[in-house]
Every structure is written in C-alpha cells, then in structure tokens.
Structure 1
C-alpha cells in the first residue's frame, strides 16, 4: 500500500544539472518522498492513503495504475532490485523486468488536473517492441500533464503525435492521450530531444513542450507549438522548430539554431558563457539588432519573423543572403556568412567576420578584431578614435575607411599597431589594400600590394610602396597633397574633376587645379600615370613610361622621354610624345599629334580626317 503523503499543490523535482539564475517554470516532476525534495513532505500524523493505486497482474505482466483527482503519480525503478515504484512505494510484486506493460489511467470520477511522471533516474523501463508499446498513459477531463525525467546517462527522446520513443530505435515506447502538457527534464549526460516525430512516433507532436536540459552537451528541438526549451549546463544546441518559442541557453556556450526557414517569433536568452543565435541555414536576408534586454516582441530574423535576440546573447551568425547585424553594448561575435553583409559591433570589444561577399563592417567603440573574409570588404572607422582595432582583409581588395575623421591620421600598411589618429593604435594587416583618409592632414603609407590610397581633404602625404598603386583625387581641390609612387606602376587619378588641371611629373608642388591660387599638389617623379577629368588640362610626363589620359576637354599632353601612351579622349587635343617609343591616340575631336624631335618609333591613331600631324 502506498504510504500516506502530503502532496503540496506544486510538486518540484530537484534539478540535477548546474545551478542557473533563470527561473524554470513548469519543471515540477514530483520526487521520492524519502528525499529532501521541495514540494513533498512526509507527515508523522496518520492520514488516509492516497487514492492513486497500482495493481500488478503477474499472469499477464500488466501493472495498472489509476491516478485520482488532482494527484501526481511518480513511476520509477528501484535501483537495488528493479522494483516498479509508484510514489516511491512498490507496485505489489511488480518489477521492471517482469512488467510487460504499464497502463496508466485516471479515476473515472476525476475531473481535475492529474500528472503522471515517468522517472528514469535509475534506468529505463516500459520499453516498447514491434508487438506493443510498453507504457500507455490515457487521462481524461481536465488539464493533465505527462512528465519525463531523464537518467544520468546519454538519453535520447523522440516525441511525436503518436507517442514517445526513448531508445532511438524503430518502436515507440509510450503512448500518451488526453494530455495537455508535456515536460521533459533531462539528466546528466549528452542528451538528445526532438518533438518533431519519427522513430515510430509518427509526425511531429501537436502539443507545446517544455524541455529542461541538465549537465552535458544537449541537443534539444521543440515541436511546431509554442515551446519552452532550457539548455542547462553544457554546450547545448537548441532549436525551437515551429511556433513562438522561448529558448534559454543557461550555463556555458550554447547555440540557438534557427534552421533554414522562418519558424515562429522566437525569444532567445543566453545566460553564462558565449551564446550564439545562428541563421546560417537561411537563404533569405536576415536583420538582427542585438539587445541587452529581452522584450515580449521583436523584429529580428527574416522580414516579419519577429524573433527577439535578447539578453545574454553574445553572437549572431548570418546566412547566405545579404544580412544586416547590429551588436549590443557588450563584447559581440558577429559572423556574416556568404552574401554582401552589413555588420556593426557597437560598444565593446567585438569580433566580426564578414565571410564571403563584399561586406561593410563597423566595429564601433572598443578594441575590435575585424576580418573581411573573401570579397572586397570595407571597414568603416567612424568619426572619432574608437579603440585599438585590428583589421584582417582576407581575399579580395579591402578598404579601411576613415573618411569621417577630422583629426590628422597616420596609417601604414605594415602590420603594426600604429595606425589611426593620435594614440589610437589600430593595426592594418598586410591583406588590407586600400585606405581612405579624412579631412585632416593625413600620412598614409601603402605596402607591396596594389594599393588605393585616398587622402580626401587636407594636405596629405601619400606613399604607395612597391605595388601598382592608385591615388584618387576626388571631384574638387581637396588640399595640397604630396604623392610618392614608389616602385611599381602608379597612377594619380583626377578623373572626377571638371575644372582645368596643370600637372608635371617633376616632383614639384605645382600640380592639380589651376583655379585660384592653385591646388599645388606635388606628384613625385616615381609616378607613371595621370588620369584627367573634363577640363582643358595640361599634363607633362617624365622619364618613365607614362600613360596620360586626357579624357574630356581640349587637352595638351606631353610624354617626356619614356615610352609613353597619350590618350586625348573627347575634345581638340594636342599630343606630343617626346623621346621614346610612344603611342598617340587623339580620340574624338580635331587633334594635333606631334611626333616630336626625338628618336624612337611613333604609333599614331589619328581621328581621320580631323587630325593634323
């Protein structure tokens, strides 16, 4: 006979995992009355026996358990001899080995809320076979619950519309009918749970589920309903599946896998450790704005999905499309994945990886580590000193953009933490190719790669290094720049200009716009090429092999003593090759091609008949 117990209104099973500061509502499983467990107290005064009863028929091996109104039946296995226990008392002579089937029903007169707990802490029982299920739970009217407690080993549970499998074989082990609430409280070990059916349990479960992980690295997947999933201790993977789910990582480093398509408005709460919400399987664009608080509504995920990436989340991973991810005030880990992503870290020491695609990355305040990955990436550095950032470009032509700055910058692509303004201490690695300066007087030094060094406003000093470098000069006079090409074939690009230019590649500060007092750029003698704009430009080359492109306007181009290529473009141009083996192409308009008095071969491409030789 089951001894008298006082069962409090809320029966609580002691959680067997690590402690967590997250409240776990609904994890009330009932317990051994001999244990010091909240919710159950053994009374010394005599009481009437509980109405819940168990009858075992040895001839058939059937244990029949009837649950009375508003009562809890905790069914378990005794560790010492394998006896079948109900509320910690033996079910007559039943053992889990001798019991072929367990039939659980409620009192026909019961209209309250009954709960059945299958406690596998001391081992499994009631396994099904090809012939029959091992456990049948059939309750009735009222709000009834079926709860499962895992073992200390590696458990695997499958919940489907037709039942429960807890051995990962082809047969369902239990059927559960007329039950409104499911709770699975897993034990220690690396556990697996899914409510999406299979393994003999049919299609996905039709009810919402509460799942509580414990110690171990668990993989937990909810149902199509509105589930609550708790990871517990360990590095867990949580999936809500369909429905508006609440997912709690709790202790350690957890991953919230949002799978390949929108699956409801989910809420993510991290806990301790580094926790990541992953949209890596998505093929449509996702937009995520991380938050330090959890709200009842969110706008993260795909358009209209309504996820809430809330408190305790450190990382977000994008999918295959063009994603937008904004970090919170902490130390964030953002991964764009494939696609042309826009990633912003915000405050904190962030780690951001663009992945494949042409990404735009802004670290924000803090000492950030920023990696572009494959593609032509841009790193935006904002308007003020925002921390000592490290930039890794990856494959492609990558740019660090300081265009919002007004203070003077010193930047060198030498892999040393000596870049930025003042003592900012940025570090542009060797796989950064391009730099954009601000409105101050900047000093920018390139590397052996083909660099694009754009000083923008101010009196800048730009040095290209060993590669084939380009120095854009913008649409208007932007300061008195000094340009050193270095080795390689280097180009100063004035192609956006509309006013007349006067340029001579002689290392003198007499280059650029002729308006007013003149721009007075100083283009060094180690620069080979000039691209002009739409004004009437005058350009004189040097002893190197120059390419001078006049573009639009009535230009006068002189090559100097190298093997030069002079391109008149639109307009009535005058081209003088000078010494060397030159190529003269007048382009549109009435052009004058002057072979000069020097020696060497001249290749002429006149615009006949409007060309004078």
Structure 2
C-alpha cells in the first residue's frame, strides 16, 4: 500500500503520485493541501492547513486535521474523523457543515460523507439520509441519525441519541445514556432489557439498543420496559404502559391515561396529565401507599420509599396493604390480603379484592366493592346521617336526593354520629350505629348489631336466625318486632312511635302487652306452653319469640344477661 506524504508546502497530491488504482495513505502535513484519493479504500489526512480532500471512489477514511477543510468523500461509504480535536464540534452531515463552538467564523465543509467520529468534548452530530455510522466518543454527546438505517455510538459520557427514521442500532456506551423516539408518530414497543424496539404494524423491522439507560417515547400508546439500571423512562403523549424493571427508576407517563409499574427498586413515578395508574401487584407486599402525600413505604424497610406524583389510581399487593387516595376520583385496588383502603375526597372506585378488607370511601360519591372475604366499610368520618342498605347496595344521604354510594360485596358497616338507618343483607353482618339514635336491621344471617351511643332501635324481622345485640341499654334502646313476627302479638298503640323505617311508612307502633312478656332464668320459648309472646332468658340474654298460631318457638336475639335482667315489655315494639 503506497504512502504519499506532502512536504509541508501547499501540495497537490493526485492518484498518479500513489500508483493510480491502488489503495493509498495520503498525508498532507502542514500546508494548504489538495489531496485526491482514487478508487481504493483510501486513508487521507490533511494535516494542518486549510485543505481540500477528495476520497474518490471506495470506502475512504478522511481526517482533515487542524484547519478549516473541505472534505468530499466521493463515491462509497466514507468516514471523517475529528478524534484529533479537543472539541467540541457541531457536525451536520445533512447540511455538510462542521462548526466549532467558540469560533463563530470558521467551519469545515463536508460532501458525500456517511460516517463521522466526534471528539472528546460534548459534540452535536447529525446524520443525513444515508446509512450513517456516528461516533460520539468521550463527552456528553447529542447524536441524531436522521433518516437511514444508522449505527450510532455514544462512547463514554452521558449521551442523548435520536435514531431518526430508519431501523437503527443505538449503542450508548459508558455513561448514563438516553435515546428518544419523540420524533416518531408512534406507537413503539421498547424493551431496554432485551434491547429491542419494535413498531406495531411492522412485523419485520426493529431498532437495536445497547447500553441505553433512558428512553423517551412517542405521542402514541407506547409500551416501554426498563432494565436493571436506574432508568428514566418518559412515555410522552398517549396512553402508555411503562415498567421500570429493577433499579431506582424515574418514570414519567406524560399526557394520557398511563399505566406505570415501577418494578423492584425505589422509584419516582410521575403520571403527568391524564388518569394514571401505578401497580405494585408484582411486589410480595405489603405496602403503605398514600396518594395524597405521594409516599409509598414498605413495612420492614424504614429507609426506602417510592415517590408518587400525579397518580390517580393504584393497585396493591397480595399482602395486607394500606392504601389512601387523594382529592382526585381514584380507583384503588387492594388485591389479595386484608387491606385498609381510604378513598379520600373524590368520587372513588374502591376494590378490596380477596381478603377481609376495611374500606373507607371518604367524601364523595363512591363505589365500594369488598370482593371476596368478610369486608367492612365505614362512614364514621361523615357527620351523618346515612341510610345504608347492604341488600340493595345503596347508601343515601338524607337532604341530598341525587347522590349515593354504591356497595358491592360488603358484609359489615360502621355508621355515623347521626341518626342512621342501617340494613344488612343475607350475610352474617356486623353493623355499628355509632353515636345518634340509630335504627339497625341485620336482615338475614347471624348478625352482630351494635347501636353505640344514643337511643337505638334494633329491628328483628326474621325468625330463622339469631342476632346478637352487643350493647342493648335499658331503657334507652328498643327492639322492633317486624310485621313478619307479630301475627299473634297484642298490645297498646303508642302514637309516639312513628315513622320507623325499614319500609314501615309513617305508622303507629304498639308496645308489647305486658301479658305477653315473660322473663326468667333459663327461660326458653314454649316453656310456658303455647302462649304467644316474648321470652327473655336472664341467665344468658337469649330472646325467644313464641307463636301460638303455629305452635313454634324461635330464638331471635341475644342481648346479654345484664341487659336481659333489666328488660320490660316496654322495650319491645311491634306492628311496624
């Protein structure tokens, strides 16, 4: 391979000087040289001076050296290098201009150059429509491949690489490197772990990513998956699905309704605009997640937390999670485990999932679905009153004829400090009236009824099951014997007992006749023959109803021995 060297003057070196038609090495030294390659794969170095370098045909390597040079690669796949320069440079193969920041006058001129090697500085390199190979080398470089199937190499440093249109190989090299698809109309499926970016609707072509830590998506509905590095992933516009994988990631949904899974690690998750969801279903649990404060902590780990920003919805773990919403209209999912969920303000959708969950809807008109298990909802936060019916699944708010809460698969309910009306369903309910003069009906099932403070009414309308009244107080509380139980009961109408709910309408109730009230230690229904009436066992607090029409006895309630001993016929009302 012939070597042709200039003499330090302004030389003109032609192919004849290097045996025409043979690949040559050409060195211009320090003059303003004009060097012509030929039809081989030539290596040309202009040296110092303002040189004009022509590669000719072949795949040439041209180094302009110091000076303001014109470099024409000619035919073939040609490369120019600025590795000699301390940098940085701004090189644009599309316009053919290489400028030197800090020097506003001088530029290099590039013609028919397909590939470029940058400097050790923070270069900006832009390709053209050819299949470029662009090398950032050291420094925090910005590289844009333009059109074409490009090979882009960031080198060392924290590089920003945009492949442009085409099916590219993007290698970030050492450092914390970012690639962007913001230019693309989308969507994309990008996986930093496998290094593959595919384009839905195009089953053939893909981009290949190597050593990329961060990615910016498109305006479409992207799927973006991170790797084990500390990734920064940005979905951009669109309804994106983002999974950070392992590592302490920063995940940005952008605009749109995004689904973000931080994966393992201590992550910052920013949903951006839209109705965004984050999921911890992958985690063995439990978690304590608060959308209002934006903090997700991991019990047993007092140091690390996730940070949530602009997240409206959250999916919990299989553990016993605590999940708190914010002022948005949240959708919160407890999944498996005995979860505690509080919707906060907003019209929320709260799902307990499997397990015995405790759900507080907070202010707003909420849908509360306990899922599988023995689930409780609470209205203790509300000033009251409420009308809650677990059988119909409706909670209404007297004075507000429009809005309601919807309950699904709820077994237990805690009322307010107001005068609540609470009705159970066919499950074994636990119903709590709290403060106020409450009316509580367990419905079917073996129910546990607690009135709380106030003069409470406990309605019994089913002979098939016994309800436990935990805090019956004499003479403050009253037992209502529903129409379904009172076919043989007699007594005096009491006009003062009106408007008792449970579909009774505004009717007068009757106080049980003293002749039909029986009380004694060990007393059971039918103990006194077939006499109709209420039998109170002061030994254990059982209350029996005896119906002479069918000559049968039913254990309908238990109030405890203390309350039973103080009861009189005046504690029972029927006919409503």
Taking structure 1 as the reference length, the TM-score comes to: 0.56
CA distance, structure 2, for counterparts of residue 52 and residue 375 of structure 1: 78
Please point out which of 176, 192, 195 is paired with 1:195. 192
Higher strand proportion, which one? 2
Quote how far apart the aligned CAs of 1:557 are. Answer: 8.5
CA distance, structure 2, for counterparts of residue 551 and residue 159 of structure 1: 87
8 Å CA contact 1:224, 1:243 repeated in 2: yes
CA distance, structure 2, for counterparts of residue 111 and residue 93 of structure 1: 24
CA distance, structure 2, for counterparts of residue 52 and residue 192 of structure 1: 43
Quote how far apart the aligned CAs of 1:481 are. Answer: 4.4
Kindly indicate whether residue 472 of structure 2 is the aligned counterpart of residue 472 of structure 1. Answer: no
Kindly indicate whether residue 163 of structure 2 is the aligned counterpart of residue 147 of structure 1. Answer: no
Please point out which of 225, 238, 245 is paired with 1:241. 245
CA distance, structure 1, for counterparts of residue 296 and residue 82 of structure 2: 48
Matched residue of 2:368: which SS?
Answer: strand
Kindly indicate whether residue 283 of structure 2 is the aligned counterpart of residue 282 of structure 1. Answer: yes
Q: How does 1:245-256 map to 2 (within 5 A)?
A: 245-256=249-260
Kindly indicate whether residue 451 of structure 2 is the aligned counterpart of residue 442 of structure 1. Answer: no
Please point out which of 83, 88, 92 is paired with 1:70. 88
- Deviation string for 1:121-168 (max 9, x for gaps)? x6x835xxxxxxxx463614xx23253568799x9x99999x99989x
Kindly indicate whether residue 445 of structure 2 is the aligned counterpart of residue 461 of structure 1. Answer: no
- In structure 2, what is the equivalent of residue 426 of structure 1? 404
Quote how far apart the aligned CAs of 1:460 are. Answer: 3.8
Q: How does 1:370-519 map to 2 (within 5 A)?
A: 370-385=368-383, 407-413=384-390, 415=392, 419-423=396-400, 425-429=403-407, 431-438=409-416, 440-447=418-425, 451-456=429-434, 458-465=436-443, 467-468=444-445, 470-473=447-450, 481-487=456-462, 489-494=464-469
CA distance, structure 2, for counterparts of residue 278 and residue 137 of structure 1: 39
Quote how far apart the aligned CAs of 1:70 are. Answer: 0.8
8 Å CA contact 1:538, 1:556 repeated in 2: no
- In structure 1, what is the equivalent of residue 121 of structure 2? 112
Matched residue of 2:82: which SS?
Answer: strand
- In structure 2, what is the equivalent of residue 125 of structure 1? 131
- Deviation string for 1:364-405 (max 9, x for gaps)? 1222222222222211223325xxxxxxxxxxxxxxxxxxxx
- In structure 2, what is the equivalent of residue 268 of structure 1? 269
8 Å CA contact 2:456, 2:476 repeated in 1: no
CA distance, structure 2, for counterparts of residue 237 and residue 184 of structure 1: 16
Matched residue of 1:411: which SS?
Answer: strand
Larger radius of gyration: 2
CA distance, structure 2, for counterparts of residue 111 and residue 283 of structure 1: 46
Quote how far apart the aligned CAs of 1:308 are. Answer: 0.8
Q: How does 1:311-390 map to 2 (within 5 A)?
A: 312-385=310-383
CA distance, structure 2, for counterparts of residue 90 and residue 427 of structure 1: 72
Quote how far apart the aligned CAs of 1:344 are. Answer: 1.5
Change (3 A) 1:62 1:299: same
Quote how far apart the aligned CAs of 1:445 are. Answer: 3.7
- Deviation string for 1:574-602 (max 9, x for gaps)? xxxxxxxxxxxxxxxxxxxxxxxxxxxxx
Change (3 A) 1:151 1:271: farther
8 Å CA contact 2:144, 2:163 repeated in 1: no
Quote how far apart the aligned CAs of 1:345 are. Answer: 1.7
CA distance, structure 2, for counterparts of residue 379 and residue 103 of structure 1: 67
Please, which runs of 5 or more residues in structure 2 have no aligned partner? 1-65, 100-107, 198-205, 487-518, 559-576
8 Å CA contact 2:89, 2:124 repeated in 1: yes
Please, which runs of 5 or more residues in structure 1 have no aligned partner? 1-48, 79-84, 95-101, 127-134, 386-406, 498-511, 529-534, 570-613
8 Å CA contact 2:162, 2:179 repeated in 1: no
8 Å CA contact 2:116, 2:135 repeated in 1: yes
Q: How does 1:535-546 map to 2 (within 5 A)?
A: 539-541=523-525
Quote how far apart the aligned CAs of 1:250 are. Answer: 1.6
8 Å CA contact 1:222, 1:239 repeated in 2: yes
Q: How does 1:159-170 map to 2 (within 5 A)?
A: none
